[in-house]
Amino acid sequence: MTVYRAPLRDYKFLLEEVFDVGEIAKLPGYEEATAETFAAVLAEGAKLCEEVLFPLNLPGDAEGCRFENGVVRTPKGFKEAYDLFRQGGWTALAADPHYGGQGLPATLNFFVSEMVASANLSFGMYPGLTAGAVEAIHQHGDEVQKKTWLPKLIDGTWSGTMCLTEPQCGTDLGQVKTRAVPTDGDGVYRITGTKIFISAGEHDLTDNIVHLVLARLPDAPSGTRGISLFIVPKFLATDDGARGPRNGVRCGGIEHKMGIKASATCVINFDDAQGYLVGEKNGGMRAMFTMMNAARLGVGLQGLALGETAYQSARTYALERLQGRSPTGVKFPDKPADPLIVHPDIRRMLLTMRAYTEGGRALAAWVMQAEDKAHRLTDADERAANDELVGLLTPIVKAMLTDNAFLVTNLGMQIFGGHGYIHDNGMEQLVRDCRITQIYEGANGIQALDLVGRKMGQHTGRLLRRFFHPVDQYLRAKMSDPALGEFALPAYRAFGRLQQTTALLAQKGLVNPDEAAAAAAEYLRAFGLVALGYVWTRIAEVALAKRGMANGEAAFYDAKLATARFYMAKLLPETGALFASIGSGAKPVMELAAEAF
């Protein structure tokens, strides 16, 4: 069976020892977000996730959602769990206090959300989509819209979605056909069209569902320049903010999916529904990307979360399952066989799982701290610098962490052997649930194109410098450290190759865009591996300093060092093959004629 305990000690290590959560408490508005506050909130969240959400994960997958007479029913126990979640204030954690939120940092909310997704990803989809809707309305809505919709979305009484995809278009939103027709000057639009793949589009957890919908006005220009964003609620709101009459919004059915079966993925039909323009006409893509960018970081978190549960479960199984004898001789003579953990290949798989999961968490923690600084620092230039770092690393967090997570969950199932293939043991569910993270909120190939096609050249390479300069400065300074050199030196060598490859790709891509596009996925992975090398070096530096004064925790820091060594020796060298492949150019990818496939 799968197991899950919130990795609170690892959270404390990252927040207090590696990245210094005290820096967040110095930001305006976050004065109460001290290390003690972080620890207390995370401990309470851990109880909810371990005791309420995790036990619902496997049965929720088996039962799934049901579509009955236009109504979606979530699995047994989900409604009661959601009520506890809402009453505990978890939907309001990072939201604006002016509208009922608690105003806590995005970094803290990230770790809480990781626990939720580790315990029960399907459940976490419902409040997760609402958080994105809140952010879009908060940033782009007018004051009337904020007062009307935000309080109930933030307190969890109502939930939210984002409605982008249509049957004829997914990533290519320029093909959106949903129509928005203005009425007689009263600010109301009539929305007609069909959206598909709408997570949490219909369910029985909340009294109302507020859809954010991309649609096209009658006089809109073609392509993405002609898309606007609208609030289209399932039920209209009354003047005092209560739930009013039913709007022209109906669920046409739910998808029967490979994974996340307890999350309702819906077809939503808008039939002359009332909607309200968010932001400017034809400015929908800018507003929607507020949701999308947050969602992409959130999906990276989902991959990380599933990897954590897979690692914990595989580790427990490997320590308990008796199979064969150690290659170097019997290790447990009192038992009929040695546990799996004695076998080198099992250890290789577990260390791979651990290195990618703990390294990915450290990378995400760095990004989320930059996110908080981008919102709260008083100096405009410093805010911009942090915002640009987040923008650069968002596609890497989304794609790298989810690609690694699919590898990690598969390794976990491999360690379970045949038992991992059986539903009742829970491991195959993690693999199925994880697979969607590489696809939705922009497939990982799109993330690679975003990195190479947009972020690399943006502001003449300024976004890249937000990463390259601090990493270069740090690794260069640490290479000569006698103790840290074994980590910093391989990381710096890979970093140097990344810089060279970046320059080569930028040069070749200017001449022939296929050169950049053909290498994009490999470049993103190489970039991600180097970024993990950087954070593992930082982790190793702290572990080296703390192991001598560990107060009984020497084993914790020794494990960090051993995992860092494994990463540098066994996983980071993948960059060499990636750089060689990128250097081969686009011809091997593009020379075969389309009709020859």
Integer Cα distance of 235 and 148 in angstroms: 13
Burial 502-522 (b: 16+ CB within 10 A, else e): bebbbebbeeeeebbbbbbbb
Tokens matching residue 445? 């190939």
Which residues share a beta bridge with 231?
212, 276
Looking at residue 550, what is its pLDDT? 64
- What is the distance between the alpha carbons of residues 367 and 69, in angstroms, rounded to a whole number? 44
Q: Which helix (H) or strand (E) holds 249?
A: strand 249-254
Report the pLDDT value the prediction gives residue 383, as an integer from 0 to 100. 96
Three-state SS for 89?
Answer: coil
Catalytic residue (choose from 202, 358, 428, 441): 441
Residue 42 and residue 102 in contact, taking contact as beta carbons nearer than 8 Å: no
Tokens representing 312? Answer: 């914990």
Q: How far is CA 530 from the centre of its chain?
A: 19
**Number of neighbours of residue 36 by Cβ within 10 angstroms:** 11
Is the distance from CB of 213 to CB of 207 less than 8 angstroms? no
Q: What is d(CA 401, CA 301) in angstroms, rounded to the nearest whole number?
A: 8
% of the chain surpassing 70 pLDDT = 100
Q: In angstroms, rounded to a whole number, what is the distance separating the alpha carbons of residues 550 and 1? A: 33
State how far the Cα of 590 lies from the Cα of 597, in Å rounded to an integer: 11
| CATH dotted code for 160-283 | 2.40.110.20
In the chain, where the domains are located:
8-140, 160-283, 459-587
Rg for the chain, CA atoms, rounded: 24
Q: Give the C-alpha separation, 542 to 494, whole Å.
A: 21
Strand partners, 66: 73
CB 366 within 8 A of CB 401: no
What kind of fold does domain 8-140 have according to CATH?
Butyryl-Coa Dehydrogenase, subunit A; domain 1 (1.10.540)
CB 229 within 8 A of CB 140: yes
Q: What is the pLDDT of residues 234-256, one digit of tens each?
A: 999 998 889 999 999 999 999 99
Question: Going residue by residue through the chain (597 aa), what tens digit of pLDDT does each one get?
Answer: 999 999 999 999 999 999 999 999 999 999 999 999 999 999 999 999 999 999 999 999 999 999 999 999 999 999 999 999 999 999 999 999 999 999 999 999 999 999 999 999 999 999 999 999 999 999 999 999 999 999 999 999 999 999 999 999 877 888 899 999 999 777 899 999 999 999 999 999 999 999 999 999 999 999 889 999 999 999 999 988 899 999 999 999 999 999 999 999 999 999 999 999 999 999 998 887 877 888 999 999 999 999 999 999 999 999 999 999 999 999 999 999 999 999 999 999 999 999 999 999 999 999 999 999 999 999 999 999 999 999 999 999 999 999 999 999 999 999 999 999 999 999 999 999 999 999 999 999 999 999 999 999 889 899 999 999 999 999 999 999 999 999 999 999 999 999 999 999 999 999 999 999 999 999 999 999 999 999 999 999 999 999 877 678 999 999 999 999 999 999 999 999 999 999 999 999 999 999 999
Matching residue, tokens 């919102």 = 375
Q: Is 44 a catalytic residue?
A: no
